[in-house]
Amino acid sequence: MRKRINILKQIDWFTIGVFLMLAVIGWLSIFSSSWEGIGDSMFEPGSRQMKQAVWVGLSFLMIILVFLIDSKFFSAFAYVLYGLVILSLVAVLVFGKEVNGARSWFELGNFRFQPAEFAKIFTSLALAQLLTSFQFDLKKIKHLLWAFVIILIPVAMIILQNDTGSALVFFALVIVLYREGMKSTYLFIALAAVLLFVLSVLISPGWVLAGSAFVLLALYWLNEHDNKGFFVALIVATGIVVVLFLLKQREILNLGFGWIVTIAVLVTLLSLLPGMLRARRNTALVLSAILLGTFVYINTLDYVYYNVLQSHQRDRIEHTLGLKDDPLGIGYNVNQSKIAIGSGGFSGKGFLQGTQTKFDFVPEQSTDFIFCTIGEEFGFLGAGLVVLLFATLLVRLIMLAERQRSKFSRVYGYAVVSILFFHITINIGMTIGLMPVIGIPLPFFSYGGSSFMAFTLFLFIFLRLDANRLEIFR
Amino acid sequence: MNKPEPRTYVIAAVIVIVSVILLVRLFFLQVLSDEYEVSALNNSQRHIIQYPPRGIIYDRDSIILVSNKAGYDLMVIPQQVKIIDSLRLANALGIDKESFRERLAEASFYSRFQPSIFYKMLSAEEYAGIQEILYDYEGFYVQPRVMRQYADEVGAHFMGDIGEVNDNVIAADAYYRMGDYAGVNGIEKYYEKSLRGKKGVKIFLVDAHNRIKESYKDGKFDTLPEAGKSLVSSIDIDLQEYGERLFVNKIGGLVAIEPETGEILALVSSPGYDPNLLVGRNRGYFYDSLLNAPNKPLFNRAINSAYPPGSTFKVVQAVIGLDENLISTSTSIPCNKYWVNCHNHPPATSVTKAVQFSCNPYFYEVFRRMVQRGYEKSIFRDSPIGLDMWKEKVVLFGFDQSLDIGLPSVSSGQIPGSDYYDALYGQYRWAFSTIYSLSIGQGEILATPLQLAHFAAIIANHGYYYTPHVVKSVGEEGKEAKYRKKYILPFKSEVYPPIVEGMKNAVNAPHGTAGLARVKDVTVCGKTGTAQNPHGEDHSIFMAFAPMENPKIAIAVYVENAGYGGTWAAPIAGLMIEKYLTDTITNKWGEERILNANLIPETADEKED
């Protein structure tokens, strides 16, 4: 009895308050988006909002269950639970039901259930357990690779289910690794890779390569303060470019633009080598290696982009980058969604008064595009409030994570933060045209029982760990 | 507590920055830009289509042939329906409760929020019957439409009809929406773009329940419908009516043309039908029954029944023979019945007499001279050359051509050339002896009543023509340019008088073949023909024009299964000519004879040899 009261006192009621507000707004949005007219009751049996209500109720029971379980259970059984969820991901590939082209659902009577939603929780637990291992150090490549193995196994299974969106979510866990000491170089490389990708789709691989080569030359100059060497190098590089271009025009050696620039800069950098070696500096070598890496990366990317990605995936990427304007085709969802949100104005049209989300103008309005309903009916005030509530929740969770004495709890807390953050950014960004259309739900909002339950469980396991933080000593 | 970890702040900062980006974007989208608000208005407007009145069709004397009456589609928006007493509305519409439920279910299946047609094409009277009770039925409303109304029961074939557009039409022309009407036949189809006008639209705002709230921007963006253009047809409706009356109980068609303008005065196809049958809700039912009726009443024989023109075609041979100097006006050819049979007649000592007596051996010889020119020694190599030279001339008269007369799908008939016989027998495996029946218009030649009438008009005009047409004037623009263009055939002008003389004698001289076409005080020129019909009695054919001195009407008549051309087709042509020129009928006996004749094969009790 004494312990019970203790726990209740330790629970972070602030987070629970934010959670409840989000859940209530989310449920009302589902009701509004499936409401068909005055005749429809809010408590219509069999309606979407009532089905969702059943799941919400079940989730609340789950919360109680989580608080009844000893908090050590989660660390002790982390790998076991992880193993079980991987098994269920395999099972769904065999026994699952295909919905919208993705074989990622178990069907039990009227209710469908998506194990990938729960995989996030148990992958996070397993990751937390791994990072807590004795002498585990993310700065060591081997240990970092282990962490990636934990993350990539569910990713592979979910990609096999043909649910790329849900698989991408797991990469958000890189944030956790960053917080726990992964070398930031890797993060920079990852960011550079994304940047190079976006640029080479936007401009062209050849120009991006040329640009990278130029940046690297500039880096050399900045790093070495070797004016003479730099200008000689620049002249040499220009000379090589001119020669290769002439050869290209005479059709003697037909090289692409990217090749020409890369060869020129590479030759130039290497020509600087002898001088550098004498000065015992390896800048030119490192830069040459980077340039070569970039060259290989961009050409691989080019190949993957046109030969591996499916055309609808290319379309989505190009549409988000503003390269394609096709409001009735691929851009239809996003355009209708922007219209719905934009038409909400400052204060919205009022609850149930949305015209865009009512008449099926916006597809998937109660699942992936649920944010439209809020944007249209409650305007900037409502949509802004939801964004602020989410931001508040995330920042609060970071604070909670940082106050943990146990590394396990902290890692898990950051996992919750990263994955929620990813979902929120992608989902809301998608409805307002900032992100490509990736079909992942908005936490606590989107219609779908397993999604709501999984996010609730995800969050409350952390709150459970947090409530016990004082009992654990390092 | 842990010591502060800098990366914590990096992560928190990223979250805050992303949230701010989302907020800023939302602010731009929702508060600063009104672009999307306008789009949303488009989404939540309801466009009510205003259908324009369709163009009226007049006859050549400005008598209204086709006009409009209002029709009403009863529309339903299932989502708004609150039924108090479905039986009352069902009874008012004359349908049972079951059908009422089915219609509602069908509409719901299409869309709960969009209007669909509940009951098609109520007449004004039917609408009046339900109008007063419709107020009690939320979710139902009436969409006015335009229905056609025909002044008379004649002329169905050339006027044509309108019907609901199908998917192909909608795909081909963005103007049409599901449920719109467009011409499907006759003038209605050919002149669809002129007749249909332009739809207007009234824009209303709808609330979240798709109910009309108010006019959008006080009607600033509404457009008024533009009425369709009226057409003046060249048809003389009295003559048309008389022609259809003469054809009662006969199968066939006739075409009458004003030679000096090319205007078509009458275009009869028998059996016909009452055009009012194909209007409104029961269109589908009547259309199907007409489609399956005996003797195909929907088939427009005047422009589509192509038969061998028989002896009428001898006139074509005469023109070409004279023009090519293969014969002269005084060429005499003995009536040698060895190759082709002939009836007994005085000797054909000139081309005039040959036309008058319709001498078969004469035109056999003329055609032989045309086909066997002697360019090649072998007749198998010579005949194709001659035949193609001949065909080149024949098609100038509009044979083997689909004449663009202002009606859709006009048959082209057929004039065989060397390619035709090469395909049939093989190259150099046929000669004049294979194809000689062409000389007297039999065999593989096919011509429609329209083509023969057009040909008669050309002869009447001594070699010029205007493309025949059924519409004299479109809207304010008057006659279309293509019908104002005069064509002159490249034949010598002296070829026509002896032929016209022969046609005059065929009707008026004692030994002519077409005495029954005579008209009191009018010189009718004509030529009979008999189309051999392998399936039964021959078809009776006659072409004529009158008066000879100043032709006002050219006509071709086909009466199917009626035997010799002089017996039935000629008197019908005579009556039509008298009716048109004098507006009276002096030959009461002849008129009675035609009106009482029943020449439909199954029930025929009167046949001629």
What's B427-439 look like in SS3? CCCCCHHHHHHHH
What's the mean pLDDT in A344-367? 69
pLDDT of residue B81: 78
How far does B197 lie from chain A, in Å, by closest CA? Answer: 30
> What is the spatial distance between Cα A424 and Cα A442, in angstroms, rounded to a whole number?
6
Output the pLDDT for position B41: 54
Shortest Cα–Cα distance, A280 to chain B (Å): 34
Q: Do A355 and B206 touch (CB under 8 A)?
A: yes
Burial class (CB in 10 A: 0-12, 13-18, 19+), A464: buried
Question: Among candidates A208, A248, A245, A216, which has minimal Cα distance to A233?
Answer: A216
Mutate to test the interface with A, among B3, B36, B210, B212 (most CBs of A within 10 A): B36
Residues with Cβ within 8 Å of B328's Cβ and at least 6 positions away in sequence, in order, are B322, B351
In the predicted model, what is the mean pLDDT of residues B346-360?
Answer: 88
Cα–Cα dist B78/B354, whole Å: 77
pLDDT at B609: 37
Q: Are the Cβ atoms of A402 and B5 closer than 8 angstroms? A: yes
Q: Do A355 and B35 touch (CB under 8 A)?
A: no
Taking an 8 Å cut-off on Cβ atoms, the answer to whether A342 and B36 are in contact is yes
Mean pLDDT for B411-421 is 93
- Which residues on chain A are in Cβ contact (under 8 Å) with B37? 342-343, 345
* Å between B556 CA and nearest CA of chain A: 57
CB A368 within 8 A of CB A440: yes
DSSP class of residue A323 equals S
C-alpha torsion B219→B220→B222→B225, nearest 10? 110
Q: Work out the angle at residue A161's Cα, subtended by the Cα atoms of residues A446 and A86, and round it to the nearest 5 degrees.
A: 90
Residues of B in contact with A432 (CB under 8 A): 22, 25-26, 29
Instruction: Please indicate whether, in this complex, the C-beta atoms of A352 and B19 are within 8 angstroms of each other.
Output: no
- Which residue has better confidence, B516 or A321? B516
Nearest to A402 among B8, B25, B31 (CB): B8
CA atoms within 13 A on the CB side of B376: 12
Q: Is the dihedral of CA A363, A365, A367, A373 positive or negative?
A: positive
Torsion of CA B343, B346, B349, B351, to 10 degrees: -50
Candidates B37, B113, B206; nearest CB to A345: B37
The partner residue sitting opposite B40, judged by closest CB among A343, A402, A421, is A343
Per-residue pLDDT at A320 exceeds 70: no
Residue of A359, A360, A404, A434 to mutate when probing chain B, most B C-beta within 10 A = A359
Lowest-pLDDT choice from A65-69, B403-407, B586-590, B601-605: B601-605
Q: Looking at per-residue confidence, does B571 or A235 come out higher?
A: B571
Whether A434 sits inside 8 A of B2 (CB atoms) is: no
The pLDDT confidence band at residue B236, using thresholds 50, 70 and 90, is: very high
Place of tokens 């002249």: A235
**% helix / strand / coil in chain A, to the nearest 5?**
70, 5, 25
- pLDDT tens profile A11-51: 899 999 999 999 999 999 888 877 755 555 677 766 778 88
Where does chain B hold its CATH 3.90.1310.10 domain(s)?
A: 68-178
B481 Cβ neighbours under 8 A, 6+ residues apart: none
Distance CA B110, CA B483 (A): 47
CB contact under 8 A, B36 and A361: no
- Answer for the pair A170, A163: CB distance below 8 angstroms, yes or no: no
Residue B22 and residue A341: Cβ atoms within 8 Å? Answer: no
CB contact under 8 A, B23 and A38: no
Inter-chain contact B7–A375, Cβ cutoff 8 Å?
A: no
The rounded distance, in Å, linking the Cα atoms of A180 and B484 is 92
Residues of B in contact with A361 (CB under 8 A): 43
Q: Kindly list the residues from chain A whose CB atom is less than 8 angstroms away from the CB atom of residue B115.
A: none
Query: pLDDT band for position A470 (50/70/90)?
Result: confident
Categorize the per-residue pLDDT at B292 as very low, low, confident or very high, splitting at 50, 70 and 90: confident
Tracing tokens 């007409």 back to the chain, one arrives at B290
Residues A187 and A174 sit within 8 Å (Cβ to Cβ): yes
Closest CA to B156 of B243, B61, B236, B267: B267
What band does B330 get if pLDDT is binned at 50, 70 and 90?
confident
- Residues B491, A465: Cα–Cα separation, whole Å: 109
CB atoms within 10 A of CB B547: 17
> Which residues in chain B have their CB less than 8 angstroms from residue A36's CB?
79, 112
Contacts of B39 in chain A (CB under 8 A): 339, 342-343
Q: Which residue of B has its CA nearest to A183?
A: B7
Query: Are B40 and A345 an interchain contact pair (Cβ–Cβ within 8 Å)?
Result: no
Which of A138-152, A209-223, A279-293, B161-175 ranks highest by mean pLDDT?
A: A138-152
B217 Cα to chain A: minimum distance (Å): 17
Q: How far apart are the first and last CA of chain A?
A: 26
Report the C-alpha gap between B368 and B598 in whole angstroms. 40
Total residue length of chain A: 474
pLDDT value at position A462?
95
Choosing among A332, A339, A385, which should be mutated to test the B contact, i.e. which has the most B CBs within 10 A? A339
pLDDT digit string, tens, across residues B57-79: 999 998 999 998 888 888 888 77
Q: Over 70: is that where the pLDDT of A206 sits?
A: yes
Cα–Cα distance between B576 and B253 in angstroms, integer? 13
Alpha carbons A201 and A195: distance in angstroms, whole number: 10
Q: Which of A412, A420, A409, A415 is nearest to A444 (CA)?
A: A420
Please tell me whether residue A459 adopts helix, strand or coil conformation: helix
According to CATH, where is 3.40.710.10 located in chain B? Answer: 237-288+300-603
Q: Containing H/E element for B62?
A: none
Please say whether the beta carbons of B307 and B539 come within 8 A.
Answer: yes
A362 pLDDT band (50/70/90 cuts)? low
B325: left (phi over 0), alpha (psi -120 to 50) or beta: left
Q: Is B17 on the interface with A (CB under 8 A)?
A: no
* Closest C-alpha among A338, A471, A460 to residue A67: A460
Q: What is the number of H-type helices and E-type strands within chain B?
A: 22, 18
Contacting residues of A for B40, CB less than 8 Å apart: 339-340, 342-343, 355-356
Q: Are strands B231-233 and B57-58 parallel, antiparallel or unpaired?
A: parallel
Q: A357 vs chain B: nearest CA distance in angstroms? A: 10
Distance from C-alpha of B581 to C-alpha of B563, rounded to nearest angstrom: 28
Residues near A16 by beta carbon (within 8 Å), at least 6 away in sequence:
A463
Beta-carbon contacts of B335 under 8 Å, excluding residues fewer than 6 positions away, are B342, B345, B347, B348, B359, B360, B361, B362
Sign (positive or negative) of CA dihedral A357, A361, A366, A371:
negative
Is the pLDDT at A80 greater than 90? The verdict is yes
Q: Which residue of A has its CA nearest to B113?
A: A359
- Longest CA–CA span in chain B (Å) reads 136
Is there a contact between B113 and A343 if contact means CB atoms under 8 Å apart?
A: no
Nearest to B78, CA basis, from B142, B139, B141: B139
- The residue among A352, A438, A404 whose CA lies nearest residue A168 is A438
- Tokens 């929702």 belong to residue: B30
* Strands ordered across the beta sheet of A111-113: A97-99, A102-108, A111-113
Phi and psi based region of residue B280 (left: phi greater than 0; alpha: psi -120 to 50; beta: remaining): left
Distance from CA of B3 to the nearest CA of A (A): 9
* Inter-chain CB proximity B5 and A36 less than 8 Å: no
Amino acid identity of residue B6, one-letter, is: P
Tokens of B128: 């009046």
Question: What residues of B are in contact with residue A342 (Cβ under 8 Å)?
Answer: 29-30, 33, 35-37, 39-40
Q: What is the pLDDT of residue B389?
A: 93
Burial class, A305, CB count within 10 angstroms (exposed 0-12 / middle 13-18 / buried 19+): middle
Q: What is the mean pLDDT of residues A254-271?
A: 75
Between B116 and B62, the more confident residue is B62
* CA nearest to B237, candidates B251, B256, B250: B256
Query: B237-288+300-603 is classed in which CATH architecture?
Result: 3-Layer(aba) Sandwich (3.40)
CB nearest B43 (choices: A178, A361, A387): A361
Residues of B with Cβ-Cβ distance to A358 under 8 angstroms:
208
Contact B441, B413 (CB under 8 A): no
Q: Where are the beta strands (DSSP E) in A266-369?
A: none
Cβ contact, residue pair A179, B19, below 8 Å: no
Q: Does B16 touch chain A (CB under 8 A)?
A: yes
Residue with tokens 């339950």: A453
Amino acid identity, position B8 = T
What φ, ψ does residue B464 adopt, rounded to 5°?
-125, 165
A266: confidence class by pLDDT, cuts 50, 70, 90? confident
Measured CA to CA in angstroms, residue B608 lies from A38, B358, B562, B598 at distances of 79, 19, 7, 12
Test B22 with A432 for CB contact under 8 angstroms: yes
**From the candidates A387, A411, A416, which should be mutated to test the interface with B, based on the most B CB atoms within 10 A?**
A387
CB-nearest to B33 from A342, A346, A428 is A342
Tell me the mean pLDDT in the region B378-403: 92
Angle between helix B314-323 and helix B379-394 axes, rounded to 10 deg: 100
* CATH fold group of domain B68-178: Penicillin-binding protein 2a (Domain 2) (3.90.1310)
Q: What is the mean pLDDT of chain B?
A: 86
pLDDT at B45: 61
Q: Is B13 on the interface with A (CB under 8 A)?
A: no
Contact residues on chain B for A345, CB-CB shorter than 8 A: 30-31, 37
Of A342 and B577, the structure prediction assigns the larger pLDDT to B577
Element at B398 (helix H, strand E):
none
Q: What is the rounded CA–CA span in Å between residue B134 and residue B488?
A: 64
ipTM: 0.84
- For residue B266, what is the enclosing H or E element? strand B263-270
| Torsional class of B359: left (φ above 0), alpha (ψ -120 to 50), beta (otherwise) | beta
Verify whether the Cβ–Cβ distance B210 to A403 is below 8 Å. no
Q: What percent of chain B has pLDDT over 70?
A: 92
The residue count for chain B: 609
Cα–Cα distance measured from residue B601 to residue A366, given in angstroms and rounded to the nearest whole number:
71
For residue A101, the model assigns a pLDDT of 67
Of residues A366 and A31, the one with the higher pLDDT is A31
The pLDDT, as a whole number, for residue A189 is 85
Is residue B291 exposed (0-12), middle (13-18) or buried (19+ Cβ within 10 Å)? exposed
Across the interface, whether the CB atoms of B11 and A375 are under 8 A apart is answered: no
- 3-state class percentages of chain B: helix first, strand second, coil last, to nearest 5: 40, 20, 40
Does B132 score more than 90 pLDDT? no
Q: Cα distance from B101 to chain A (closest Cα, Å)?
A: 20
